[in-house]
Amino acid sequence: MDVKDNKKQASARQLFVAACGVICVIVATRIGFLNVPAIWIDEAFSIFYAQKGLGWIWGSDWRVEPTPPLYYTLLAGWAQLTGYSEPLLRLFSLLWSALAGVFLLLLGNELGGRRAGIAAALLWAVLPLNIEYGLEIRAYALELAEIAALLWVFARLLRLANERALSEGSFVRYALALVLVGLVTSYTHITGVFAFAAVSASLLLYLALKGNTRAAILWLAFNVLYALGLIPQILASHAVVTGNAVTLAWLPPLSVTFARWVVKSLFLGNAPFGTLVNGLITGLWLSALAMSVFALRRRPAALLVGCLVPVLGFGFVAALSLFEPALLPRTVLWITLPLMALAGTALTQTFTPGRSALALALCVPFMFWISTLNMQIREDWHSDYAGIEKLKSISGGDLLVAIDGEKACIMQYYGVDPSRLRLLSLGPDAVFHRRQMVDIGCNLPPKLEPSDIAAHLRAGQSLWLIATPASDGQRWTDIETLAETVREAGRHDTRIDLTGFGALKLAPLSAP
């Protein structure tokens, strides 16, 4: 065995040790939140949807649910092994989050060496956005692992091309790997399509600038192969778009409000700092990224992956955001991968090992502290569990009337008897949520008209009206208005008013 082989083996061992360290950091920064009950409607959707079975997921429901079916398929398989308890379902996402960190380590290693990979993975691991979404019972952690793998393959291809060690056979193998990983990503979340499109356009630009016409034509042919593999999902997505009108009305596309949300989500999440501190931390982060671009101006691979890919990916989605704003926040999540690869590479290429280690030692604990604040706020927002447990302890056998299917679904997951639930519709939004409950297989409570409230009270039966007071003030207002209209038949009795869960008891006038 020659010296070159010995160096390769030593490098592989060091990279393996670094990967184990990254996994430990990711697990350590998330495991404390696994056992915190904080299911919200999107997560309840994932749970009930996975329980429906693969025949529904890959069948008629494929044309109803906007998220592609691969994640739900894997979640259903995981749940067959572990059950549907909340901590174990979150563990599924944590494992994918750890894998994303490993692929980001490999990506940084391709761009700037092992230290760059370690720095990139550590910075990414403690970003507030990634800790929160890395524990959600949704497709995001899986998608991040897949996009990190996609970027790693792309960066490896670029390195071999720069070293003039890329034969036509090797290019075909790497191009095929990009297509396969791109398809897997696109069948996990629709934003994976735009991640692949950004990588594809960047590679095409690179080949054109290098004058490699033959490779560029080959890559265009592989793009056709990707498009053919995507046809079933395109047809399903078309059915979803024409059959639903689901947007994030609270987030106007391409606006100052959205720009502020992007910057704050990336670097601060929902940390409760004042405007001055927010601006200072955000300014430091943006300055660091700008300096990274300058520091790596002679490293085209790092700039392609760390700058051009996120810019193109974000640009593609921004153009479509006029039609579907919900795509933008999900794109913000995955562009943290190339951005942290850029920052980690620049950090280790600009400073000595000691200074870059010191910068990480100062930055990582501070970012994790911000992330912890964010998770505490998230628990407060999604305080359904605390409210439901309190409601179960004091409501006896009273009827529980949810203003929409979301709360009814979550209450069923946390053990409320479905026979006590009723669903009250107060407009088109509630109609949508009612239909959504049928789609995901959650037991549909009997419908209760507003006029039925007074009838139940006159019959001597107490009931609870349930809404979300903080995140949707209108629904809480609707409930209070409705309660006022039945004053002649009942009286306000008890009120539960948590951040994410509110309930108002109406008791008959004759009740003690």
Question: What is the reported pLDDT for 81?
Answer: 95
What whole-number distance in Å separates Cα of residue 387 and Cα of residue 45? 19
Residue 465, beta-bridge partner list: 401, 504
Question: What is the reported pLDDT for 250?
Answer: 40
DSSP for 12-23? HHHHHHHHHHHH
Residue 127, beta-bridge partner list: none
What whole-number distance in Å separates Cα of residue 114 and Cα of residue 12? 10
Phi, psi of 130 (to 5 degrees): -75, -35
Q: pTM for the complete prediction?
A: 0.88
Domains and CATH numbers, the chain: 10-381 (no CATH), 384-508 (3.40.50)
Question: What is the reported pLDDT for 124?
Answer: 94
Burial class of residue 352 (count of CB atoms within 10 Å of its CB; 0-12, 13-18, 19+): exposed
Which tokens in the block code for residue 487?
Answer: 């004053």
Residue 409, helix vs strand vs coil: helix
Q: What is the pLDDT of residues 436-485, one digit of tens each?
A: 554 555 667 788 887 888 888 888 888 898 877 655 556 677 777 777 77
| Cα Rg of the chain, angstroms | 25
Question: What is the reported pLDDT for 371?
Answer: 83
Question: What is the reported pLDDT for 249?
Answer: 41
Q: Going by C-beta distance under 8 Å and a sequence separation of 6 or more, which residues neighbour residue 244?
A: 64, 66
* CB of 260 closer than 8 Å to CB of 282: no
Residue type, 21: G
Question: What is the reported pLDDT for 85?
Answer: 92
Which tokens in the block code for residue 497?
Answer: 């008013």
Residue 507, beta-bridge partner list: 491
Q: Write out residues in the chain with pLDDT < 70, as ranges.
A: 1-6, 238-258, 261, 270, 272, 319-329, 381, 425-443, 469-475, 499, 510-512
Question: What is the reported pLDDT for 116?
Answer: 93
Q: What is the pLDDT of residues 256-290, one digit of tens each?
A: 666 776 777 777 776 767 777 777 777 877 888 88
What whole-number distance in Å separates Cα of residue 339 and Cα of residue 511? 62
Question: What is the reported pLDDT for 251?
Answer: 45
Cα dist from 437 to 20, 42, 48, 383, 433, whole Å: 41, 12, 9, 21, 6
Helices 336-350 and 140-162, axial angle in degrees (round to 10):
50
